[in-house]
Amino acid sequence: MPEIAKFVNHGSASITPAIAKRVLKHLPQWRLEFTQIDAPRYPHLVDQLEFLADALEDSLEGEYADLPYFAVAGAVFALIYAHKKIGIIPDSVLDLGRADDSSVVRVVLMQHEAAFTLYAAAHGLRWSHISVAP
């Protein structure tokens, strides 16, 4: 298993329902922050983060009860990771600062593709638009 997947799995395993609820409280602020991401090398990143935020919010607020907790935990971990300014690659590193964020998000989307595909379909979203591309 690639190292980034191990990293994501380890981080996701530490996400508790209490952590997920705390992240839910921060989502409005984080959504605004994510819209300010300027990462031309990762054109799908903002849409992917928005998708994960929507899925998390709908799941935790009871609007969509079919998302497995492993997918919820992965979404929480990815959102927390993208919010942090310091990661494997600090966000301030020119042209590469969002590479690690994109990788973490893509791993979560790929590992839980079946569940997120169903969520997207239930909300009239095209999974191909969300994409697992960088």
Q: Which of 90, 83, 85 is nearest to 52 (CA)?
A: 83
For the record, the structure tokens of 67 come out as: 């998302």
In what helix (H) or strand (E) does residue 5 lie, and over which residues does it extend? helix 3-13
In tens, the pLDDT along 70-129 reads 999 999 999 999 998 766 655 555 666 678 889 999 999 999 999 999 999 999 998 888
CB atoms within 10 A of CB 32: 9
In tens, the pLDDT along 46-64 reads 999 999 999 999 999 999 9
Backbone angles phi, psi at 86, to 5 degrees: -110, 125
**Residues 40/56, Cβ–Cβ less than 8 Å:** no
In tens, the pLDDT along 8-48 reads 999 999 999 999 999 999 999 999 999 998 888 888 999 99
The whole model's pTM is what?
0.91
Q: Which amino acid is at 111?
A: Q
Where on the phi/psi map is residue 62: left (φ > 0), alpha (ψ -120 to 50), or beta? left
